[in-house]
Amino acid sequence: MLGQFKRLGELVSSNVEALIDKATDPRKMLLLLRTEIEDSILKLTEARAKAYSRASKAKRISEQKAAAADEWTAKARLAMDKGREDLGRAALLAREGDRAAAKELAAEAEAARAEVAEIDKAIEELEAKRAETLEQLEAMPAPAKAAAPSSTSSAADRQRSRIDEMERRTSFVSDKEVPIDPAQVDEELAGLARDSAIEAELAAMRPAKGKRAKK
């Protein structure tokens, strides 16, 4: 996607009049440029739909996880009231898992919404460049002979292949194992801190049970 946006930036920043002056066949050049712009708009529209769907799904699941996390505290108290500290601890661990998942999904939703906004801007800019290209085409005298459709089709196929290849390169993920990095150490330390917090919360629940038993 990064490679595609780089190419889109080149399309948007292109100087149509300068391209016409340099082209040996200005009309053919404009037709190819229009095809490339329209093909890019189509791809962006599809990417926008996917990003919007990801944002909606992530937001929905994040809210579900947050709600589930709230329920685990009450379940932990119930377990402690029944003398099941093992279940209480498990409930609090589940709560922390749901909280972490909700936070991560909320971040994913925000990133997807930002991608939608970026794509909307790119589509708007490409539409303006397309209008400029069409205006230049209409200002040109009609060709003596219709251009062969195979040329434009071939250019569109080459552009699609180029964009597909860029997407494959930018989405490539190495399968090689990597050594533990500081981020992993931080994650393990966060887990230890979480466990300590849970133990403290369980300890705070125990006296509450004792007081009710005396009554």
What are 129-151's pLDDT values in tens digits?
A: 888 888 888 887 776 655 555 55
Which amino acid is residue 69, in one-letter code? Answer: A
Q: What is the mean pLDDT of residues 105-133?
A: 92
Specify whether the CB–CB gap between 3 and 169 falls below 8 A: yes
Which of 43-52, 173-182, 193-202 is predicted most confidently? 43-52
Query: Both tokens of residue 54?
Result: 């990801």
pLDDT-wise least confident of 41-55, 61-75, 156-170, 180-194: 156-170
pLDDT of residue 117: 94
Distances (CA, A) of 95 to 63, 188, 192: 14, 18, 15
pLDDT band at 190 (very low <50, low <70, confident <90, very high): confident
Query: Both tokens of residue 212?
Result: 């009710």
pLDDT of residue 146: 53
Q: What is the mean pLDDT of residues 166-184?
A: 48
**Percent of the residues in the chain that have a pLDDT greater than 70, as a whole number:** 64
In terms of pLDDT, which residue wins out, 195 or 17? 195
Q: What is the mean pLDDT of residues 28-46?
A: 87
Specify whether the CB–CB gap between 104 and 69 falls below 8 A: no
pLDDT band at 174 (very low <50, low <70, confident <90, very high): very low
R_g over Cα of the chain? 29
Which of 10-14, 27-31, 173-177 is predicted most confidently? 27-31
Dist CA 50 CA 116 (whole Å): 9
Between vectors from CA 166 to CA 58 and to CA 122, what angle results, nearest 5°? 60
183 pLDDT more than 50: yes
Which amino acid is residue 19, in one-letter code? Answer: L
Specify whether the CB–CB gap between 30 and 150 falls below 8 A: no
pLDDT of residue 141: 76
The burial class, CB within 10 Å (0-12 / 13-18 / 19+), for 91 is buried
Dist CA 158 CA 80 (whole Å): 66
Neighbours of 203 (CB within 10 A): 9
pTM summary value? 0.60
